[in-house]
C-alpha cells in the first residue's frame, strides 16, 4: 500500500530536512515557496499540508503564507493544512484558520506534539474521504436523486421496476417534491433513453396556446402561423413526453389528448393528415385527480389512460433524515457555484433543518440553502443564515412499541445523515458501539451493503 502523502512548505532548508526526518511514516514532498507548493500539490495531491506561515512576502508585500493557504484550498478544498507560526504569533494563526486551515502549531517544533497533530489531520482526511464515498453511494439510487429515507428508497425501487415498461405513469406528489427528477429517471432507465425527453408544464402555458404547443400547427392555421411547426408530442416521438401538472389541463384539450392516447395518432392544428407518434407518456400533478373528477374538472376516462402505473411521492417532511442529507448536497453545489468557502452547518442549523416542515419540499430547501450560502459570513451556516425556527413537535402515537421503533428509526436516519454516512461517528453520536449500530440498521431495514 502506498504511504499517505504529506507536503511540507518551508523555506528553511535545515528545518525542512528535520521535518522530513520526523515524518518517515509518510511519503513526504517539500516546497520552499508558493509556486513550488502549488506544483507539488497538483502533482502529488497530498492529503495534508504542513506550512510555515513565515514565508517571505511576495514582491508586492502580500503575505506569502496566507496567499499560499488561499491558493491551496482554492485548488483542493479538502486538503488539511496545518500552519506553523512563530512563537506568540497567535493573530496570524487565527487568521489562517479563518481562511480554512485545519489547525496550527507554534514554533519551536516539538516532534511528538506535531506528529500527533499531523496524524489527527490524516485521520480526519481519511474519514472525510470515506464520507464522500458513502455519499456517492447513497445518492445513486436514481440519477439526480439524493436520499436515504426508507420511504423514498421504496419509491426508487418502484421507479426502477416500472421504467422498463412502456405503460403510462402518473407521478403524484406535492409541489417541489421531485416529480420531474423521477420522470427523468424513468426515461433514462427505459429502452427509450436515447430518444428525447420533452417536458411541457400544463399550468404554465395559457389555454389558447397549449393546444398548439402540444399538437403543433400547419402553415396558415391561424393568424401568425407562417410556417409548419411540430408540437411537443411529435417532437418526443421515439422518446418520452412528460406532462407536468396534468390536473391543470383544460377540459376541451383533455378530450383531444385522450384521443391521441387511444389511437396514438395526432393532427396538427389546421391539418387533415393523421400523424402516427410512438411516445411514452408520463404525467404528474400535485392535485387530487379523484376530487377533480368528482367536481367535473377532469375526465375520468383520461385518468384511467394516464394512470396505468401510479407512483406516489412522499413530501420531504415524511422522508426521515433526507432534509439534512439534501441540505449538505445543496450546500456543496451552491458553494462551488458561487465560489464561497461555506463548508457545513452548525448543530443548531441542522436541528432547525430537521425540525422544519418544508411546505415547499425539496425545492424550498434548495432555494433556502442557495440563498444562505450567498449571504453567509462564516464557513458554517448558522440558524440566523437560514432564517428558520423549530416547528412544534407533532403528537406521537401512544403504543409504546410503535413509539420506540419509530423514534429509534428516526434517530438512526438522523445520526447517519448528520455524519454524512460515517458509521463510526454515527455510533458515537448515538452512544452505541459500531456492531450495535450495524444490528440496529439491519433490524430497521436501513442496512447498506
pLDDT in tens, 329-346: 999 999 999 998 888 888
pLDDT category, 418, cuts 50, 70, 90? Answer: confident
Please report the pLDDT score of residue 225 as a whole number: 80
CATH class of the 150-314 domain in this structure: alpha beta
How confident is the model over 35-44, as a mean pLDDT?
A: 90
Confidence of residue 95 (pLDDT cuts 50, 70, 90): confident
Domain boundaries, the chain: 5-138, 150-314, 318-443
Going by C-alpha positions, the residue among 73, 110, 107, 112 that lies closest to residue 92 is 107
Residues in the chain: 449
pLDDT value at 396 more than 80: no
User: What is the mean pLDDT of the segment spanning 285-302?
Assistant: 96
Higher pLDDT, 391 or 423: 423
Give me the pLDDT at residue 134, please: 63
The per-residue pLDDT for range 120-134, each reduced to its tens digit, is 999 988 888 877 666
d(CA 49, CA 8): 6
Has residue 9 got a pLDDT over 70?
A: yes
Question: What are the tens digits of pLDDT across the range 225-237?
Answer: 888 899 999 999 9
Compute the average pLDDT of residues 310-319.
95
- pLDDT of 382 higher than 50: yes
- Give the CATH number of domain 318-443: 1.10.8.60
Domain 5-138 homologous superfamily, CATH: Response regulator (3.40.50.2300)
What is the residue whose three cell numbers read 486551515?
A: 101
Of the chain, the percentage scoring pLDDT greater than 70 comes to: 91
Residue 400 backbone dihedrals phi, psi, to 5 degrees:
-60, -40
- The pLDDT assigned to 351 comes to 87
Range of lowest pLDDT (45-59, 144-158, 202-216, 241-255): 45-59
Asked if residue 449 has pLDDT above 60, the reply is no
Position 21 pLDDT exceeds 90: no
pLDDT(139) > 70? no
Which SS3 state, helix, strand or coil, does residue 67 take? helix
Determine contact, residues 145/314, Cβ cutoff 8 Å: no
Looking at residues 39-57, what average pLDDT do you find? Answer: 85
Q: What's 341's DSSP letter?
A: -
Set of cell numbers at residue 332: 456543496
pLDDT tens for residues 253-286?
A: 999 999 999 999 999 998 889 999 999 999 999 9
The yes-or-no answer to whether 5-138 and 318-443 have a common fold is no
User: Can you give the pLDDT at residue 394?
Assistant: 42
Amino acid at each position: 500500500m502506498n504511504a499517505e502523502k504529506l507536503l511540507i512548505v518551508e523555506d528553511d532548508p535545515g528545518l525542512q530536512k528535520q521535518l522530513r526526518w520526523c515524518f518517515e511514516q509518510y511519503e513526504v514532498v517539500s516546497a520552499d515557496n508558493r509556486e513550488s507548493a502549488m506544483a507539488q500539490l497538483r502533482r502529488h495531491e497530498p492529503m495534508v499540508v504542513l506550512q510555515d506561515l513565515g514565508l517571505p512576502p511576495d514582491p508586492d508585500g502580500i503575505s506569502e503564507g496566507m496567499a499560499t493557504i488561499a491558493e491551496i484550498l482554492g485548488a483542493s478544498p479538502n486538503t488539511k493544512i496545518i500552519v506553523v507560526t512563530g512563537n506568540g504569533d497567535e493573530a496570524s494563526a487565527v487568521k489562517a484558520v479563518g481562511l480554512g486551515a485545519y489547525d496550527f502549531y507554534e514554533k519551536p517544533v516539538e516532534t511528538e506534539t506535531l506528529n500527533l497533530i499531523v496524524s489527527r489531520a490524516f485521520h480526519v482526511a481519511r474519514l472525510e474521504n470515506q464520507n464522500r464515498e458513502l455519499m456517492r453511494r447513497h445518492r445513486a439510487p436514481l440519477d439526480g436523486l439524493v436520499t436515504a429515507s426508507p420511504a423514498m428508497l421504496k419509491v426508487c425501487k418502484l421507479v426502477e421496476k416500472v421504467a422498463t415498461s412502456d405503460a403510462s405513469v402518473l407521478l403524484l406528489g406535492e409541489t417541489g417534491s421531485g416529480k420531474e427528477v423521477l420522470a427523468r429517471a424513468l426515461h433514462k432507465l427505459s429502452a427509450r433513453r436515447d430518444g428525447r425527453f420533452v417536458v411541457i408544464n400544463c399550468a404554465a402555458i395559457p389555454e389558447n396556446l397549449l393546444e398548439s404547443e402540444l399538437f403543433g400547427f400547419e402553415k396558415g392555421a391561424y393568424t401568425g402561423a407562417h410556417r409548419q411547426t411540430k408540437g411537443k408530442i411529435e417532437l418526443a416521438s421515439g422518446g418520452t413526453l412528460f406532462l407536468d401538472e396534468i390536473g391543470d389541463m383544460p377540459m376541451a384539450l383533455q378530450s383531444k389528448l385522450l384521443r391521441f392516447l387511444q389511437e396514438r395518432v395526432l393532427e396538427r392544428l389546421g391539418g387533415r393528415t393523421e400523424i402516427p407518434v410512438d411516445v411514452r407518456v408520463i404525467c404528474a400533478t400535485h392535485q387530487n385527480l379523484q376530487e377533480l373528477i368528482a367536481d367535473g374538472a377532469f375526465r375520468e376516462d383520461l385518468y384511467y389512460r394516464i394512470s396505468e402505473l401510479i407512483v406516489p411521492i412522499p413530501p420531504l417532511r415524511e422522508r426521515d433524515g433526507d432534509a439534512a442529507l439534501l441540505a449538505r448536497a445543496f450546500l456543496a453545489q451552491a458553494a462551488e457555484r458561487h465560489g464561497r468557502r461555506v463548508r457545513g452547518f452548525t448543530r443548531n442549523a441542522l436541528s432547525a433543518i430537521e425540525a422544519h416542515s418544508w411546505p415547499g419540499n425539496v425545492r424550498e430547501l434548495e432555494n433556502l440553502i442557495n440563498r444562505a450560502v450567498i449571504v453567509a459570513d462564516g464557513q458554517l451556516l448558522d440558524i440566523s443564515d437560514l432564517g428558520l425556527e423549530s416547528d412544534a413537535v407533532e403528537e406521537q402515537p401512544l403504543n409504546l412499541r410503535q413509539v420506540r421503533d419509530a423514534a429509534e428509526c428516526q434517530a438512526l436516519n438522523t445520526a447517519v445523515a448528520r455524519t454524512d454516512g460515517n458509521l463510526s461517528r454515527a455510533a458515537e453520536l448515538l452512544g452505541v458501539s459500531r456492531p450495535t449500530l450495524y444490528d440496529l440498521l439491519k433490524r430497521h431495514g436501513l442496512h447498506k451493503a
